[in-house]
Amino acid sequence: MKTRLTNKNIIFFITAFIFFILLGCTNNAEEENFNSSLKQSPNDLLEGVVQAVAYSGFREGQHPDRGDGAVNPSYEEILEDLRILARDSNFPLIRVYDSGENSQMVLRVIEENEINIKVMLGIWLRAEISNHEGCPWLTEPIPDEELKENKKKNIAEIEKGIELANKYPEMIVAVNVGNEALVDWNDHMVEVDTMINYVKMVKEKVEQPVTVADNFYWWAMEGKELAEAVDFLAVHIYPIWEGQDIDTALAYSISNIQAVKDSLPGHSIVISEAGWATTASEFGERASEEKQVRYFNEIMNWGKENNYTIFFFEAFDEPWKGDPGNPKGAEKHWGLFFEDRTPKLVMYELYPDLVK
């Protein structure tokens, strides 16, 4: 979910910074022309939805498989979560990140309880390249045997994703192959050519549109070949990770999308992740509930005006993420709701009965 500042992209970010400063100086006519260059058709929305959310329901003591097996949420816990999100059609579209046991349970809960939620299904890809020289937290090469085994697991995951997409054709509205597996800082890297082949494999066997989710910078700078293979671009934007505070967050986010549009004209975009942490030792006072409220409202209003589906990251805080020795680490605190399912400030008006 992060954008890592490296020597490779500093020039790009300087350019983007100048761009959004100039944006703030435009007059009304210039701003109208700028917005029209970004405006999409209503047909570019997934299921006609703007306000969507990334969902991963791991609570305290739960986690996906990190090498020693997963501890997944129960049926009842997932049902509680989905009923919260679906209330009053607040979040009629969610994104899940893989096709494993937990995501399968999410789909089952939706079907068996007739919950009014559609899903962008994920297909999680493990490392097929050892990116130990680019990833800050990989301290040694990934063994070749592990990489070979990962490729087998990736094929199995793709086959499971295809199976689920065909089992739930009305519920699953899009399939996402790989999440941040292409950016140069990740620990689960896959070759672009391989990714294109995986996308083609899925497209041949499902009816839903197929995409790949990655950081806006990767799409803008390196995404040309992949853009031709997918049905839409799934783009991540995180102004807070890139040094922005709330006063520049929306303009910077727009400049991110503009960069992708300029580089890859003619391709529709879904913002597959955008969020604002409420607590973060990495961000200091830039992280807060008040600033999350403002970013959520501003980015969603912009999405409505310009026809972008926006998966806000994320539904609920997830304690398992990040450094276990740092309870205030940003990775744990992106939720619209706390881990105990009480709403943060941004959700007070929609869920007043859940406020403690």
11 is a domain residue: no
Please indicate, yes or no, whether the overall pTM of this predicted structure exceeds 0.75: yes
64 is a domain residue: yes
Contacts of 84 (CB under 8 A, 6+ apart): 337, 341, 351, 354
Q: What is the DSSP string of 136-171?
A: TT--SPPPHHHHHHHHHHHHHHHHHHHHHHHHSTTT
Q: Where is average pLDDT lowest: 34-38, 41-45, 226-230, 268-272?
A: 34-38
Residue 199 pLDDT more than 50?
yes
Residue 23 pLDDT more than 60?
no
pLDDT band at 36; cut points 50, 70, 90 = low
Domain count, the chain: 1
Mean pLDDT confidence for 59-87: 94
Note the pLDDT of residue 109. Answer: 98
131 is a domain residue: yes
Residue 15 pLDDT more than 70?
no
Alpha-carbon distance values, 93 to 90, 173, 325 (Å): 9, 9, 33
Q: What's the CA gap between 184 and 282, in Å, rounded?
A: 21
CATH of the domain at 118: 3.20.20.80
Which range marks the domain in which residue 135 is found?
A: 44-354
Quote the Cα angle for 67-72-73, to 5°.
Answer: 160
326 is a domain residue: yes
Note the pLDDT of residue 35. Answer: 55
Note the pLDDT of residue 28. Answer: 46
36 is a domain residue: no
Query: What are 277's two structure tokens?
Result: 């942490």
29 is a domain residue: no
147 is a domain residue: yes
Convert the pLDDT of each residue in 37-66 to its tens digit.
899 999 999 999 999 999 999 999 999 987
Convert the pLDDT of each residue in 125-176 to its tens digit.
998 997 777 778 777 888 999 999 999 999 999 999 999 999 999 999 999 9
32 is a domain residue: no
Residue 22 pLDDT more than 90?
no
SS3 (DSSP) at 312: strand
